[in-house]
Amino acid sequence: MKEWMGKIRTLSLFSFLVIILSACGKDNLTALVPKGYGAEESFNVILISILVMIFVFIVVMAIYVYVIFKFRQRKGQENHIPKQTEGNKTLEVVWTVIPILLLIIIAVPTIASTYDLADESEKEDSINVNVQGMQFWWNFEYANEEIQTSQELYIPVNERVYLNMLSSDVIHSFWLPSISGKMDVNPDNENTMYIEAYEEGVYWGKCTEFCGDSHSLMDFKVVVVSQEEYDQWVEGMKNTDPEYTAESSTAQEGQEMFANSCISCHAIDASSSNPVVGPNLADFGNRTMVAGIKNYSKEAIVDWIMNPGEIKPGNGMLSAPYLQDNSMEEEDAEKIADFLMELKATDEPVDSVEQFKKDETENNN
């Protein structure tokens, strides 16, 4: 009997935990389970303010419920005229002063963390990434390493990374809920924020400033890896070759087509001297997702090449000549996909990326 009770208890505790966890959202997207410095700072202020506010709410509701039940009109009392009180000085002082004190409790940590999150003292000695937001994708240029990548930002774990952000069209906003709060990406002035992740993994980033048709699909990822993996990745990116030749025969055909058309916007090497027109495709073979929103697969790449407008309305690819004159056959797209999937900065699979791909595929089945 006792055992049975114990099982029930464990089970109910477990299901309670599941509910709580799922109520907190997807664990590499939600702001409710912080996994980085900025998100943690914000979360602490959120907690303090929620606690203070719940206290206020309880006080208000207690008086409210009491008053409604106690002083509700009773039968036969319709004409009763209650005492016409003008006010009460003591009470009024109380509910002016106490809220001020409560607000100070919130204001002090708010100001402290606001300054802390704007701290740029370590900027010189840290990794600096120039982030460029565009309708509807992101470009990341590593300032000192002279490499760039698109859509997926690699950073080492437990390391402060400074992001210097500028838009080349309308305003975007860089939000990485699990790791850090957001910062707008303006066309006028460069904004700087830093991020620091506590755990390896791939984290979802979202554009949070309304920027047009595919605003809701302008996702990016931040790939948090160990310091070694990061160094390897940077080394690999530096060695990506603009003259790379494809291995398989279909990929070679694909590369030929790519060179005749796609290359005018998409570079296949990570050198930061390449102009930023379309997303940089160096290391495309190791991407976590296609176009930032589709599970990584050859079909997804083909689908993207054939119908980019259906996947991301209004995106820049729509002006590509092959879409204007409908000159792309599905077989061609498949060959191009073969070629693109060969583009890898490191042959060694990155743990975080592999795990992420596995989770996402399971998720959607």
Partner 1 sequence: MSTLVATNKKSFGSTIWDYLTTVDHKKIAIMYLIAGGFFFILGGLEALAIRWQLVQPMNDFVSAGFYNELITMHGTTMIFLAAMPLIFAFMNAVVPLQIGARDVAFPFVNSLSFWLFLFGGIMLNVGWFTGGAADAGWTAYAPLSTTSPGQGVDYYVLGLQISGAGTLMGGINFLVTIVNMRAPGMTYMRMPLFTWTAFVASALILFAFPALTVGLFLMMFDRLFGSGFFDPSMGGNSVIWQHLFWIFGHPEVYILALPAFGIFSEIISTFSKKRLFGYTAMVFATVLIGFLGFMVWAHHMFTVGMGPAANSIFAVATMAIAVPTGIKIFNWLFTLWGGNIQINTAMLWALGFIPTFTLGGMTGVMVAAASADFQYHDTYFVVAHFHYVIVGGVVFALFAGTHYWWPKMFGTILDEKLGKVTFWLFFVGFHLTFFIQHFLGLMGMPRRYWTYLEGQNLDLGNLISTIGAFLMGVGTIVLLINIIKTSVKNEKVSGDPWDGRTLEWAIPSPPPFYNFKQLPLVRGLDPLWIEKMEGRKGMTPAEPLTDIHMPNNSFIPFVMSLGLFIAGFGFIYQKQDIAWLSLVFVGMGITLGCMLLRSVKDDLGYHIHKEDLKKEAGE
Q: Give, as ranges, the residues between 29 and 88 that touch partner 1 (CB under 8 A).
A: 29-32, 38-39, 41-43, 45-46, 49-50, 52-53, 56-57, 60-61, 63-64, 67-68, 71-73, 77-78, 80-88
Closest CA to 279 of 75, 177, 134: 134
Least Cβ distance, residue 333 to partner 1 (angstroms)? 22
Q: Which is nearer to partner 1, 119 or 329 (CB)?
A: 119
Q: Which of 209, 229, 253, 342 binds partner 1 (CB under 8 A)?
A: 209
Least Cβ distance, residue 232 to partner 1 (angstroms)? 30
Dihedral angle over CA of 285, 291, 292, 295, nearest 10: -70
Least Cβ distance, residue 261 to partner 1 (angstroms)? 26
**Euclidean distance between the first and the last CA atom of the chain, given in angstroms as a whole number:** 40
Q: Give residues 242-271 in contact with partner 1 (rule: CB under 8 A).
A: none
d(CA 10, CA 76): 55
Q: Which of 149, 214, 288, 352 binds partner 1 (CB under 8 A)?
A: 214
Least Cβ distance, residue 72 to partner 1 (angstroms)? 5
Pairing type for strands 152-156 and 220-225 reads parallel
| CB burial readout 148-159, b (16+ within 10 A) else e | bbbbbbbbbbee
d(CA 2, CA 90): 57
The answer to whether 196 and 37 have CB atoms below 8 angstroms apart is: yes
Least Cβ distance, residue 338 to partner 1 (angstroms)? 26
Q: Which is nearer to partner 1, 135 or 255 (CB)?
A: 135
Least Cβ distance, residue 110 to partner 1 (angstroms)? 4
Q: Which is nearer to partner 1, 56 or 259 (CB)?
A: 56
Q: Which is nearer to partner 1, 11 or 54 (CB)?
A: 54
Which residues lie across from 289 on neighbouring strands? Answer: 295
Least Cβ distance, residue 200 to partner 1 (angstroms)? 20
Q: Which is nearer to partner 1, 212 or 285 (CB)?
A: 212
Q: Which is nearer to partner 1, 231 or 354 (CB)?
A: 354
Q: Which is nearer to partner 1, 154 or 175 (CB)?
A: 175
Q: Which of 143, 170, 263, 306 binds partner 1 (CB under 8 A)?
A: 170
d(CA 39, CA 113): 11
Per-residue binding letters, 100-129, with partner 1 (x by CB under 8 A): x--x--xx--xx-xxxxxx-----------
Q: Which is nearer to partner 1, 326 or 363 (CB)?
A: 363
Burial (CB count within 10 angstroms: exposed 0-12, middle 13-18, buried 19+), residue 292: buried
The answer to whether 129 and 161 have CB atoms below 8 angstroms apart is: yes
d(CA 228, CA 243): 27
d(CA 75, CA 343): 82
Least Cβ distance, residue 223 to partner 1 (angstroms)? 17
Total residues at interface with partner 1 (CB under 8 A): 95
Q: What is the edge-to-edge ordering of all strands in the sheet holding 137-142?
A: 147-150, 137-142, 127-134, 161-167, 191-195
Q: Give residues 293-322 in contact with partner 1 (rule: CB under 8 A).
A: 293, 313-314
